[in-house]
Every structure is written in structure tokens, then in C-alpha cells.
Amino acid sequence: MVEQPQSALDGVFHALADPTRRAMVHQLASGERTVSELAEPYAMSLAAASKHVKVLEGAGLIHREIEGRVHRCSLEREPLVRALSWLRTYTDFWDARLDALDDLLNAENDDDRH
């Protein structure tokens, strides 16, 4: 099993638990955005959008650069790679279990035919 620093993964999964923040991550996957651009699709104030951005930034999922009053955000790849690596551990676990079940069911079917 892949060991990850618990607090880092907790922050990533906490940040991604919110659908608005997941949508913001999705927006950032296609390139840099300002906080205003991230807030645009939602009925929320810039202050509310900024709170979401701070959670994403705190989890290391985004990097923010401030140019005067404009805050530009870009996606950070590494925290997502670490979270995916952790999740893949369980994908491998369930794939192995399901393969074993499939083998067992196929063996039973073969026994029933003979």
C-alpha cells in the first residue's frame, strides 16, 4: 500500500469534497484563471469564491499569484497525483478481489458442466 502523509491527503480530499471546488479544479485543468473567472459560473460573491480558492490553495491544489488586485490561479499537479496514487491502491485491491471471484465462478461453471 502507498503511504501518504495523512494531513496532506486529508486536505486534498477535504478540498475536493465540495462540488464547487471540484468544478474550479476542473476549470483550472484547462489553464490559468483569475478568481473572478473561477467565480463567474456560480451565484457567489468574490469573497465566497476567494474562500474556496483559499481551501484549494491550503491543500496545495492550486498556486495563486497576485498582481495588484488580480489573483491568478493555476493548478498544481502533484497533490492530485498523490491522491490518485492512494486511490489506485484500492483499485488494485478490488481488481484482485474481483479477478479471484471471477476465477471462482468460472471454476464452478466448469464443474457444473462436467
Read off the pLDDT of residues 56-101 as tens digits, 9 standing for 90 and up.
999 999 999 999 999 999 999 999 999 999 888 888 888 888 888 8
Asked whether residue 85 is domain-assigned, the answer is yes
Asked whether residue 25 is domain-assigned, the answer is yes
Range of the domain at 32: 6-113
Rounded-to-integer distance, Cα 54 and Cα 11, Å: 12
- Which CATH number goes with the domain that contains 89? 1.10.10.10
Asked whether residue 1 is domain-assigned, the answer is no
Asked whether residue 108 is domain-assigned, the answer is yes
Q: How many folded domains does the chain comprise?
A: 1
Asked whether residue 79 is domain-assigned, the answer is yes
Rounded-to-integer distance, Cα 87 and Cα 108, Å: 32
Question: pTM above the 0.85 mark?
Answer: no
- Angle (CA) 107 105 93, round 5°: 115
